[in-house]
């Protein structure tokens, strides 16, 4: 229970960051002298440096053995998820809600989470090594795949979108720090493990800073003035529908592949997650200045809260089961 409360604090932090953006926008205002852009860029690089530092190359190599599970999870995260959203493209391509649809595609193309996936799989008594592998490898794949999905539509919508510029920024801010962390793992990996709680807190503070800055700019531009309560309800209903479609699809596929209960739990928990860390970071790199980052992050933040809440309940239910060979059914 304590672990669930600790996760919930981040959700509270998101709400506080948005409220501060509305009532106290000064530090992040475009006219402010506070160098929040520089601070957030340095923070992003440090997040991914520590991410690389915590990756164990040997464990990643060992994790490749359970390849069917890994292929399923990554296919769901980077192919099935975006394709679900793409089916609705004809309905929104020329309408007033195209930006909302694009925000859903952005969310759907993001990698899975790391910490919450592993924590929830651990609580539910799933396959923890496989969860660590999938969550870790997903973040690396996302650096390459997410911009490809978004670039298809951003090139059409914005004249100032450039794949070269995007991948240059991704390399400098994300890929290079991850690679440096991986190289230094053998020397500083123990440090990263010992202070993992502190590093996780640092990650969350940087993300909250980016969310605060993004919403300040969105409020300044009046982006949310035209968003009504009914529209927010519809957006959240779409978030719920997307989550359950993916969750039950993974359960059905896991049954067809005759996965054990532990592997099925890992597939469903990792396959339904979308990383708010990567989302906030990627949004500041991928989207041109003409786009509202606040709108682009809205479905992702709603999805983040939803996945934590629902998966927490399911994990608690599965934690009470007896781990016997007979319990090889898929979760319902």
The position carrying tokens 């997903």 is: 138
pLDDT score of 323: 57
Q: Give a three-class secondary structure readout of the chain.
A: CHHHHHHHHHHHHHHHHHHHHHHCCHHHCCCCCCCHHHHHHHHHHHHHHHHHHHCCHHHHHHHCCCHHHHHHHHHHHHHHHHHHHHCCHHHHCCCCCHHHHHHHHHHHCCCCCCHHHHHHHHHCCCCHHHHHHHHHHHHHHHHHHHHHHHHHHHHHHCCCCCHHHHHHHHHHHHHHHHHHHHHCHHHHHHHHHHCHHHHHHHHHHHHHHHHHHHHHHHHHCCHHHHCCHHHHHHHHHHHHHHHHHHHHHHHHHHHHCCCCHHHHHHHHHHHCCCCHHHHHHHHHHHCCCCCCHHHHHHHHHHHHHHHHHHHHHHHHHHHCCCCCCCCCCCCC
Q: What is the pLDDT of residue 319?
A: 85
Token pair in block for residue 161: 């979108």
Residue of 14, 84, 73, 2 lying closest to 306 (CA atoms): 14
pLDDT of residue 6: 45
Please return the burial class of 189, using the count of CB atoms within 10 Å of its CB with bins 0-12, 13-18 and 19+. middle
Angle, alpha carbons 84-168-148 (nearest 5°): 15
Per-residue confidence (pLDDT) for residue 2, from 0 to 100: 45
Closest among 127, 149, 92 to 264, alpha carbons compared: 127
Which tokens hold the place of 316? 């608690």
Q: What pLDDT shows up at residue 151? A: 87
Q: What confidence score (pLDDT) does residue 331 get?
A: 46
pLDDT at 321: 77
What share of the chain in percent tops pLDDT 90?
33
Ranges of the chain whose pLDDT falls below 50: 1-7, 324-332
At residue 107, the pLDDT reads: 96
Domains (range + CATH), the chain: 2-22+35-317 (1.20.1530.20)
pTM of the model: 0.83
Q: How far apart are the first and last CA of the chain?
A: 22
For 47-89, what is each residue's pLDDT tens digit? 889 988 888 777 767 667 788 999 999 999 999 999 999 999 9
Using only C-alpha atoms, the chain has a radius of gyration, in whole angstroms, of 19
Counted residue by residue, the chain has a size of 332
Q: How far, in Å, CA of 101 to CA of 107, rounded?
A: 10
């Amino acid at each position: 229970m304590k672990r669930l409360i600790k996760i919930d604090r981040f959700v509270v932090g998101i709400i506080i960051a948005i409220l501060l953006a509305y009532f106290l926008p000064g530090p992040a205002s475009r006219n402010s002298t506070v160098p929040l852009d520089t601070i957030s860029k340095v923070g992003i690089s440090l997040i991914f440096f520590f991410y690389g530092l915590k990756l164990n190359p040997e464990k990643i190599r060992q994790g490749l053995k359970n390849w069917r599970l890994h292929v399923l999870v990554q296919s769901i995260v980077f192919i099935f998820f975006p394709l679900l959203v793409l089916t609705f493209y004809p309905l929104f391509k020329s309408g007033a809600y195209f930006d909302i649809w694009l925000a859903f595609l952005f969310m759907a193309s993001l990698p899975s989470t790391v910490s919450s996936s592993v924590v929830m799989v651990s609580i539910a008594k799933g396959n923890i090594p496989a969860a660590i592998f999938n969550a870790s490898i997903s973040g690396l794949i996302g650096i390459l795949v997410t911009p490809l999905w978004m670039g298809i539509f951003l090139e059409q919508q914005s004249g100032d979108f450039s794949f070269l510029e995007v991948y240059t920024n991704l390399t400098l801010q994300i890929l290079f720090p991850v690679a440096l962390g991986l190289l230094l793992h053998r020397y500083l990996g123990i440090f990263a493990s010992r202070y993992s709680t502190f590093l996780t807190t640092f990650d969350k503070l940087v993300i909250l800073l980016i969310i605060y800055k993004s919403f300040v700019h969105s409020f300044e531009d009046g982006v949310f003035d035209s968003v009504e309560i009914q529209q927010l309800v519809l957006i959240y209903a779409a978030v719920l529908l997307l989550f359950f479609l993916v969750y039950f699809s993974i359960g059905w596929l896991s049954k067809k592949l005759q996965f054990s209960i532990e592997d099925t739990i890992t597939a469903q928990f990792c396959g339904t997650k979308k990383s708010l860390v990567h989302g906030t970071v990627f949004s500041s790199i991928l989207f041109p200045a003409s786009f509202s980052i606040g709108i682009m992050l809205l479905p992702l933040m709603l999805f983040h809260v939803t996945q934590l809440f629902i998966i927490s309940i399911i994990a608690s239910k599965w934690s009470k089961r007896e781990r016997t060979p007979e319990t090889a059914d898929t979760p319902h």
